[in-house]
Homo-oligomer: A and B are copies of this chain.
Amino acid sequence: MYRMPYGFGPSAGPRQGPDGRPFDWTNTPRKRSVAVSYLTDAALLRNLLPPGFSLADEPVVTIELQYFTELEWLAGRGYNTLGVKFPVTYRGTVDEVTGLFLAVLWENLADPILTGRDELGFAKLYAEIPEPRVFQGREFHGAAWLGHRFIDIELDAIEEASLAPLSGPAAGGTLHYKYVPATGQWGEADIAYACHTPPGASQQRTIGAFHAKGRVTIHDTQWADMPTQFHIVRALAALPILEARGAVITETRGGKDLSDQRRLT
């Protein structure tokens, strides 16, 4: 598999090791996921949909942080992510899939951003996502861009829980819209299609699970604060939090390399 820069030959990444072979996803990575959900306004959420997508089920936004360590494809390093998801149905000329749309995914390391955008069509961007502050039973998570803190996520009332299996749209996997503009023909696209991460086929297993109360605060963000991303933060900030839908913490081991990612037609 090639990525830019092309001339140096195939690039190793999550789906191919230095020798071209896949990695072992049985016991690693370790992941701690913190997901906070809330009901929002359907009309505003609909504004964030790419072509072919419509809302499915309730307009519930989930903000999910993931703290990865022991990633084999990074030779045992880790990184952190912050994603925004909500339930949608994609209807193409052939495919119809209901799942969670990953509207944007911030990551604090450029290399998985590039593999994910180019190979998988994940809408990844860069942000600083520090380890959480954990203080007297509460957790304080968040993200920033060059020092501008644009989101805070606070958890309390954290209690061990047994998690129900995924149901509804969340059981349908994750949906994406891959888009790369055309060079020189400004306003046109070289790539513009939907992608699907099917559920299942992962070696991920849960080793800890907790329920909690979660609170999301999105901060005022001007163009000068985040000149390439302010419009995203402002659109998220404009989504009202109509009703809290709780938070879920999961600690897992194992995973998959997402080579089952597919283009939708």
- Residues of A near any B CB (own CB < 8 A): 1-13, 15, 17-18, 28, 47-50, 53, 69-70, 72-78, 101, 103-104, 109-111, 113-115, 117-126, 128, 130-136, 138, 140, 144, 146-147, 149, 177-187, 189-193, 195, 223-225, 227-232, 235, 259, 261-263
Instruction: Knowing A77-B146, A113-B110 are in contact, say whether A123-B5 is a contact too (CB < 8 A).
Output: yes
Q: Name the CB-closest residue of B to A142.
A: B147
When the two chains form their complex, are residues B76 and A115 in contact, meaning their CB atoms are under 8 A apart? Answer: no
- How far is the CB of A65 from the nearest CB of chain B, in Å? 15
Q: Judge whether A11 and B147 touch: CB under 8 Å.
A: no
**Does the CB pair B111–A126 fall under 8 Å?**
yes
Q: Are B183 and A120 in contact (CB under 8 A)?
A: yes
Beta-carbon nearest neighbor of A11 in chain B: B228
Interface centre among A7, A115, A224 (most CB of B within 10 A): A7
Separation of A259 and B74 alpha carbons in the complex (Å): 35
**CA gap between A139 and B224 in the complex, in Å:** 12
Q: Which single residue of chain B is at the shortest CB-CB distance from A9?
A: B231
Q: Which of B101, B103, B131, B182 contacts A8 (CB 8 A)?
A: B103
CB atoms of B117 and A6 under 8 A apart: no
Find chain B residues with CB under 8 A from A50 CB.
6-7
A263 near B182 with CB under 8 A, answer yes
Q: Which residue of B lies closest to A15 (CB)?
A: B186
- The listed residue (B15, B118, B185) touching A263 by CB distance below 8 A is B185
A18 to B48, CA, bound (A): 18
22 contacts between A and B (CB under 8 A): A4-B177, A4-B178, A5-B125, A7-B47, A7-B49, A7-B50, A7-B123, A9-B231, A12-B230, A12-B231, A13-B228, A17-B223, A76-B133, A77-B227, A110-B113, A111-B126, A114-B117, A119-B181, A130-B146, A180-B191, A184-B262, A185-B263
